[in-house]
Structure 1
């Protein structure tokens, strides 16, 4: 069962929810797809078992074969190639690794070489297998690392929790494409409801079953809750704006391992989500 946890922006509590749901399960896999700034490992503090470099292929020019026709330069929409002073220049930092320039070169002057863009780290923390993607600073895209994270097989684990990047860009789409269910985490503000709408539109586009967890809840009006009621979105749970939870979280500890109150809350939330996923699966099987 693959459960993706999303938010319209950073800081809403996406990692709080995904880390604690994984810890509340009897056994789980936690995958941190927020490769530009992963932080789930700070809570789990896993015992590392494996690290693997992730590479992409980028063009390499044989200057003896290049005639300066500039067909590759004209082709590249990312402006990663330029022909200056009788020499082809390749700007690796903005190359998106599409391989089109290599295919197009009439002189076969371009070939490809591997470039390391980051790594995948694996470890264990109690009942949770922790898998973290780390993108090197300045790289154009984290999608190759996310593909590697999600391609790994995790047989024998009932739950896989995918801690997605914030927002609704391509890296988020890549993170949720194979998810069975999406949890949208939102704050109780007008800005929070606006960002909730971004990820809501995304999961609708992908046809993913979904529900909302409202974080940092206080007494009074909650614009994100109003948004859910207006759109008919199921509210899976509400996390209060609470000093105890804030202290535990700021100390990089896992709430379900530190507090019976929050262990009960996230265990109950996990049961509700499991029922939702099973219900959706039953509906799909009828069709």
Structure 2
């Protein structure tokens, strides 16, 4: 890890408290990088309200067909497994929304009638709150995949903070896989419901598939039966923290406040959680070295 730590925060569904945990881990880390990879609905910036905002466009390559060179052989149409090309009215039509930018159609064309052009799919915004660098990926409405935006965020060569917090998209699809690929540790956030335990299992299976060290935060806990806690105990999963169901926390969070900034007890809770994650990740690094 070269003394740097990248923590990916996951949940099997939206609304579990993933962003709550991510934002407050980044804030208590002091000097940190917060990456909001929930590119369809990024909301971390609503808490940080970063200054010095910069914007960077993210584009992908899509095919452009020169109708004068195309001889209508349809090899490109037959090649594309995503049905992004069709031969209509003696012309090849490109459906850019489902194109995966593989470039295969351009390579297979015998007449060199296909080239590539840039298509904007979204943007990356960067700013700061105190010593936290806040980076948000924003996917344009109607685009099918935010993976290229997340890849650009994760692979940024300028990332040099000691602690990076990756606020992953909910679920366990390709965009989540891209978000956790370089993570040193995965933190799974779950609610105390049957639905919550079902979705916890989704991300549990994912991080095990990727062979990532991980632990769990149980959010909105109350007295009584907790299916997510039972799932952790049955599968010998380490529970790193339990965040209580708390009206004050809920109000601060709904008002766009960073709870660890406003409330000392929650600052201590998230600071301890970060310390425990760091120890877990270091122990895992030693075991695998």
Shift of 1:153: 3.1
Question: Which has the larger displacement, 49-58 or 148-157?
Answer: 148-157
The corresponding residue for 2:86 is: 82
Shift of 1:156: 4.5
The corresponding residue for 2:200 is: 196
Shift of 1:82: 0.9
The corresponding residue for 2:263 is: 259
Which one of 40, 47, 66 corresponds to residue 44 of structure 2?
40
Aligned length: 285
2:44 paired with 1:6: no
Runs of 4+ in 1 over 2 A off after TM superposition: 153-156
Tell me if the contact between 1:44 and 1:254 (Cα under 8 Å) persists in the aligned partners. yes
Matched ranges for 1:207-222 at <5 A: 207-222=211-226
TM-score after normalising by structure 2: 0.97
Question: Which has the larger displacement, 141-150 or 46-55?
Answer: 46-55
Tell me if the contact between 1:95 and 1:140 (Cα under 8 Å) persists in the aligned partners. no
Q: Which runs of 5+ in 2 are unaligned?
A: none
2:151 paired with 1:159: no
Shift of 1:95: 1.2
The corresponding residue for 2:154 is: 150
Secondary structure class of the residue paired with 2:143: coil
Shift of 1:160: 0.2
Distance in 2 separating the partners of 1:209 and 1:113? 40
2:56 paired with 1:52: yes
Matched ranges for 1:2-151 at <5 A: 2-151=6-155
TM-score after normalising by structure 1: 0.97
Shift of 1:49: 3.7
2:248 paired with 1:244: yes
Shift of 1:154: 4.6
Question: Which has the larger displacement, 269-278 or 178-187?
Answer: 269-278
Q: Deviations over 1:72-110 (max 9, x none)?
A: 111112211111111111111221111111111111110
Distance in 2 separating the partners of 1:41 and 1:17? 14
Tell me if the contact between 1:93 and 1:139 (Cα under 8 Å) persists in the aligned partners. yes
Distance in 2 separating the partners of 1:49 and 1:225? 40
Distance in 1 separating the partners of 2:232 and 2:158? 33
Tell me if the contact between 1:122 and 1:130 (Cα under 8 Å) persists in the aligned partners. yes
The corresponding residue for 1:174 is: 178
Q: Deviations over 1:224-283 (max 9, x none)?
A: 000000101000000111000000000011001111111111111111111111111111
The corresponding residue for 1:225 is: 229
Distance in 2 separating the partners of 1:279 and 1:103? 47
